[in-house]
Structure 1
Amino acid sequence: MSQVLTFYAQTCSKHIFSSNRSFGSCRDLPVLDAHLHWNYMPSTKSIQIAYRAAQTSEGWIAWGINPTGTGMVGSQAIVAFRGSNGSMTAYPTSITSYNPSLQPSSLSFQVSNISAEYAKGQMTIFAVVGQLATGTSVNHVWQAGRSVSDNIPQGHGTSGPNIQSMATVDFLSG
């Protein structure tokens, strides 16, 4: 058992990103085979993030911050998927209900440099987030779904890991 835990504990710190991207901090997330990498930039109080998760080319992933609560509803997210033209699509979206449209929308905080990639069975979202009104400690959520139809991510599972995908992270202290 300790060998398994050691393997997972090293997953995010050993990852090598394409295009010479590097991140000074990371956390293996407890469910959905997901990982969050970041660089906190004190001069702008913003965070450069890479959220990556195991996924098929037909599925989608999302990562977000909930500035007002701890769950999915109220989250400000970035969703990514392979579009019908074959290229990766990523954009911000607000989660306002348990049946969100996942359409592009503005967020309550600044987000820029959004991009995504798919390689070796993983999707990755890249973005710069902030300055955050809540400081460096935030409630974050992450999600994955199995399908996209007409360039719209479809629903995700409603039990097990899909409803456990939330935590708190402090971008300053890790």
Structure 2
Amino acid sequence: MKMGSRFMPSLLLLFCLCTTLISATHAADCSSLKLTGGRKQYSNCTELPSLNSTLHFTYNATNSSLSIAFSAPPAKPDGWIAWAVNPTATGMAGSQTLLAFKSNGSMVVKTYNISSYSSIVEGKLSFDVWDLEAETDKDGKMIIYGSVKVATSAEKLNQVWQVGPGVVDGFPMKHEFEKPNLASLGELQLVEKLSPAASSPSPSPQSAENSNSGYLVSEINAGFWISALISLLILL
């Protein structure tokens, strides 16, 4: 009994370390996020870092277009969601916005040119948009579908997303200014960057040997912790 008490902290520590090693090999797979009514398949998807939102997208370099499906729960059941591209800055001011909400029981998508925080005007955006539509899923999330024209040879763009409580006479009501709302912006990488390793020549035999050695060391370390854990279980 005393031996078991003495080894219990070590056993717990080893269990946590082994769990961490195993968990690191199981990264979240965005492709498991399913769209209920998407009209097309998308080549990329990402779980955005705030507002419980996701973005599925396909970038077509041939005609410099971006097809998207943005989903998020509105702040209230009759609220709105929005996804935007900001061609000139990183925040909301200047963003070219696709905003979806319910109108007479049906989902609609409107375009808003947000020239400043105090001026939200419905109207044509600074770039072409087409195939706009929206829907709600069984969990109450709203989804915006559409395609937008992006700058030729663009590799990334500034995106902004947001949710709000409602729309009055076509004017979106002000959203909250909590931390998740203020964090709803970032870069969207359209073209995957090549890492230095991917763009460099094939490694020499010596480099390959070093790389394999590093891999073996990692495997040995993992094996050590697992063996130690099994030994302690036998002792207990």
The two structures share one fold, judged by TM-score above 0.5:
yes
Distance 1:87 1:20 in 2: 18
Which of 93, 96, 121 lines up with 1:73 in the alignment?
93
Gaps of 5+ in 2: 1-19, 194-236
1:113 aligns with 2:131: yes
The alignment's TM-score, normalised by the length of structure 2, stands at 0.65
1:15 aligns with 2:36: no
Gaps of 5+ in 1: none
- Contact conserved, 2:91 with 2:185, CA < 8 A, in 1? yes
Q: 1:46 to 1:154 in 2, by over 3 A?
A: same
**Equivalent residue number for residue 24 of structure 1:** 43
Q: Which letter maps to 1:57?
A: P
Distance 2:58 2:181 in 1: 26
Q: Which letter maps to 2:100?
A: A
Distance 2:153 2:86 in 1: 10
Residue 13 (structure 1) shift:
1.6
- Contact conserved, 2:61 with 2:153, CA < 8 A, in 1? no
- Contact conserved, 1:109 with 1:132, CA < 8 A, in 2? no
**Equivalent residue number for residue 180 of structure 2:** 161
Larger Rg: 2
Relative to total residues, which structure has the larger helix share, 1 or 2? 2
Distance 2:40 2:146 in 1: 12
Identical amino acids, percent of aligned pairs: 36
Mapping for residues 87-98 of structure 1, pairs under 5 Å:
87-98=106-117
The alignment's TM-score, normalised by the length of structure 1, stands at 0.87
Instruction: Provide, for residues 45-91 of structure 1, a one-character-per-residue CA deviation record: whole Å limited to 9, x for no partner.
Output: 111111111234311000001110110001011000011x1000102
Residue 98 (structure 1) shift:
1.3
**Equivalent residue number for residue 124 of structure 1:** 143
**Equivalent residue number for residue 60 of structure 1:** 80
Q: 1:19 to 1:124 in 2, by over 3 A?
A: closer
Residue 14 (structure 1) shift:
1.2
Q: Using CA pairs below 8 Å that are at least 6 residues apart, which structure has the higher relative contact order?
A: 1
1:39 aligns with 2:39: no
Residue 104 (structure 1) shift:
2.4
Runs of 4+ in structure 1 deviating by more than 3 angstroms, as ranges, are none
Aligned length: 168
Relative to total residues, which structure has the larger strand share, 1 or 2? 1
Q: Which letter maps to 1:59?
A: G
